[in-house]
């Protein structure tokens, strides 16, 4: 009897050790297209913001600027097309470090027990049209610590509104991220910064005929209408230190960045 107990105890111990090793050291293969054979979604180059750290990383279906001191992207940019709006059922993959970020993106374990969601910047729900597009949104370079009620509340409401605009107007360009500034609290061994605010810029149209809206949300749930959180790009640039449309003509910048223009956007 004691011999059986020893065997069972040993097996149980081995299972516990095996689970711990899997949980802490297993990393799935890259989600990126390694041979260039898969389709891509190209973000219009003239809409790309500046990179304060000169650390731009391109994936098949989104592009980002990684800010290493804060262990997250200062912005993620992507295009949403009508054909992307599918309801395909996808199996959620593991969150893994981004192999294309040269300084390494944050380990997902920083979020364990932190009380914060792994908040997607490019939403997984906007990338259900292919398994590869869906999976690459689970790189940790594409997430930021978010309160659950914020992530599932007003932030989610804006993501749903963007999908409605895409259905109505066609291609939508999106630039989004947390406001990264000195003195933010951090989580995990790598001190992943917890932003006090998140922003999202929505662009429709092409070239100098394009129109945009910019939103800035305090990092908390709110029942207020989305329109209450609009602000001019100039004000958002002062808040973030990012030059959002520096590649666009100066006249367009002066016209579009100095004020909020809601005309032509159905809420």
- Residues classed as catalytic: 120
Query: How many CA atoms are closer than 13 Å to the CA of 229, on its beta-carbon side?
Result: 23
Yes or no: say if 43 and 77 are a contact pair by the CB < 8 Å rule: yes
Beta strand pairing call for 63-67 and 56-58? antiparallel
Yes or no: say if 97 and 139 are a contact pair by the CB < 8 Å rule: yes
CA dist 54 and 49 (Å) reads 11
Dihedral pair phi/psi, residue 101, rounded to 5°: -80, 115
CA dist 210 and 71 (Å) reads 32
Q: What is the DSSP string of 43-78?
A: PPGGGPPP-TTS-EEE-SS-EEEEEGGGTEEEEEEE
Alpha-carbon separation of residue 205 from 68, 80, 171, 267 (angstroms): 33, 12, 8, 17
CA dist 194 and 180 (Å) reads 8
Ramachandran area for residue 61 (φ above 0: left; ψ -120 to 50: alpha; else beta): alpha
Helix (H) or strand (E) holding 117: strand 117-120
């Amino acid at each position: 009897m004691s011999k059986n107990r020893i065997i069972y105890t040993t097996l149980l111990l081995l299972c516990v050790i095996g689970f711990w090793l899997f949980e802490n050291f297993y990393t799935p293969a890259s989600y990126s297209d390694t041979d260039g054979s898969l389709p891509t979604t190209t973000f219009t180059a003239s809409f790309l913001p500046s990179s304060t750290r000169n650390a731009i990383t391109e994936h098949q279906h989104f592009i980002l600027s990684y800010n290493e001191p804060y262990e997250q992207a200062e912005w993620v940019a992507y295009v949403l097309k009508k054909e992307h709006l599918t309801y395909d059922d996808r199996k959620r993959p593991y969150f893994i470090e981004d192999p294309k970020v040269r300084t390494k993106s944050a380990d997902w374990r920083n979020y364990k027990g932190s009380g914060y969601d792994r908040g997607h910047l490019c939403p997984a729900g906007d990338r259900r049209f292919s398994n590869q597009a869906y999976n690459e949104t689970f790189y940790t370079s594409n997430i930021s610590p978010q309160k659950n009620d914020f992530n599932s509340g007003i932030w989610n409401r804006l993501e749903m509104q963007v999908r409605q605009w895409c259905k109505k107007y066609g291609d939508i360009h999106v630039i989004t991220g947390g406001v990264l500034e000195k003195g933010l609290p951090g989580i995990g061994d790598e001190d992943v910064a917890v932003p006090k605010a998140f922003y999202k810029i929505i662009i429709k149209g092409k070239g100098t005929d394009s129109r945009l809206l910019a939103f800035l949300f305090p990092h908390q749930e709110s029942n207020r209408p989305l329109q209450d959180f609009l602000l001019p790009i100039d004000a958002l640039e002062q808040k973030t230190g990012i030059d959002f449309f520096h590649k666009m003509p100066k006249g367009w910048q002066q016209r579009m960045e100095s004020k909020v223009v809601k005309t032509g956007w159905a809420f």
